[in-house]
Structure 1
């Protein structure tokens, strides 16, 4: 994920100030029935859209409800949508549809995994203490309203793959890798009871006492104190009889060894 300025998430190599300036300039020209859409709307909402953002650059996506047309200007990609598809018409000064409608509007430009990542984020929140931006029922309602739109098949495919309790796009990616390998799907935000408290692993199998934690960059940037807390947490899980599997970015680049370790742990636990 790139930098975030005033809630706008941008890809590496993209100037966030230049993007904000373009968005602000175009926003002044929008009128009722027009709105920011697709990759631009996702950026403005701060949704996890790494690959989408890299493809977008400083480009701005603008939509309009028929028969209104989107503005025509250099660097703007326009699209139209039927009347009644959006849950509500976006208004000034933000001109951004509801989070669930932005998810649905991404379907023509996102692959299945990207839709699941964004959907997990919307129904989970930024962390387990933050209120989610949407709900599974709202996403289902968007799929119903977008039934005649491009990409609705991908939305329908994504819906049953969405899960709550997800704290990062990498957790979704890891879960989908495990599913794709034919292994049982782990639960998200897996509860791990220890003597004094209830811990949670990113993913896990309570029935087999297998916990899976992703060690992202922040685990290594936190220095010795962060490392100490992580080690104590994992040792507490192991002391409670759990097998703890740690996953890093290197594992996900070539997941064969991790998936082999996981398969062996499942077999041993059964």
Structure 2
């Protein structure tokens, strides 16, 4: 990835925290440079149905081997954008062809109980695994903030239809190297940490334990865990479990240490790189 283009992208959105929307600015010259390097993009307007059609057009061009390779290659390089596509690929595989089907997703009420605002989503997307968020139309969507989140954390909008499309497009266009021995060793060490989890461990405990085997921030590890849960490597054996207070978990909420890792999912994505005893 071009360092100057990445720096332009990051300076647009982040300075010791999120830059307020009204204060975000990229000069025309910087924007042109970052766009030329494939790091920044023009806003996109696309309908739900066209978005879905483009996802289905992309899927046959992306294999489970590619998404597994990209994930592994991200571990030592900290190319977090490479690992994001693994979750988006899994989510895309849950989708079926369908038109936008409007249902209410939420509403605001005044003190008298009258609706002051009603929001909608696609009911068929919503009813897919994990509850995919599908808008009827995406109007001038800022793809640059999506790419910033991919690069900085590994993606934070998995399950949003427009992000699924964008993420898969970027994965398909990327030149992904073969994982190194270091990448594979890191992943094996991660699996060992998971396998050695205490039965009562919550996801937050796993996040802390992984700090010893992969160079990463807390936020990066949280997304890493979410990706592994999304693709069923961290698969709960029960969903009838309590949760602890407030949390931001989506896919891994009900995983506990006693669940260890799912060898069937591991084999699906990583069989080319893992020793047989791990599988």
Structure 1 and Structure 2 fold alike (TM over 0.5):
no
Structure with larger RCO (C-alpha < 8 A, sep 6+): 2
Q: TM-score, normalised by structure 2?
A: 0.23
Please identify the structure whose Cα radius of gyration is greater: 1
Higher fraction of strand: 1
Q: TM-score, normalised by structure 1?
A: 0.24
Q: Higher helix fraction: Structure 1 or Structure 2?
A: 2
